[in-house]
């Protein structure tokens, strides 16, 4: 990862967000050149949680909000946050 940072590349992590705690959030905000993509497969907790076994949509959304708030408090532009949605027959109508 240090080689990627030295060359100016962005390191992107894909996660379901379930293992994020305060310590991981702080480290993520302080690091330079990171992008974190949170996987969500539904626009409602019922759909998302049934597709992503073990995921709790409300927890993940709360985590994303906490990270964003910490970024704003620290005036940090170093971390990019994304949400990734995989469209399939079970959830595509929720995008419309």
Q: Assess if residue 95 is contained within a domain.
A: no
Number of structural domains found in the chain: 1
Q: Assess if residue 69 is contained within a domain.
A: yes
| 41: containing domain | 2-88
Q: What is the pLDDT of residues 9-43, one digit of tens each?
A: 778 889 999 998 989 888 888 776 788 999 999 99
Q: Assess if residue 96 is contained within a domain.
A: no
CA distances from 30 to 5, 23, 74 (A): 13, 11, 9
Q: Assess if residue 93 is contained within a domain.
A: no
Tell me whether strands 11-15 and 79-85 are parallel, antiparallel or unpaired.
unpaired
Q: Assess if residue 48 is contained within a domain.
A: yes
pTM comes to 0.84
Pick from 23, 27, 21: nearest CA to 11 = 27
Q: Assess if residue 78 is contained within a domain.
A: yes
Place of tokens 């894909």: 14
Q: Assess if residue 19 is contained within a domain.
A: yes
Q: Per-residue pLDDT for 91 more than 80? A: yes
Q: Per-residue pLDDT for 1 more than 70? A: no
Q: Assess if residue 12 is contained within a domain.
A: yes
């Amino acid at each position: 990862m240090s080689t990627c940072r030295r060359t100016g590349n962005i390191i992107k992590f894909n996660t379901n967000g379930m293992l994020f705690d305060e310590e991981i959030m702080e480290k993520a905000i302080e690091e330079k050149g990171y992008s974190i993509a949170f996987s969500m497969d539904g626009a409602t907790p019922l759909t998302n949680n049934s597709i992503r076994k073990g995921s709790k949509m409300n927890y993940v959304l709360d985590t994303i909000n906490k990270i964003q708030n910490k970024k704003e408090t620290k005036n940090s532009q170093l971390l990019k946050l994304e949400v990734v949605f995989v469209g399939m027959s079970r959830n595509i109508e929720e995008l419309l």
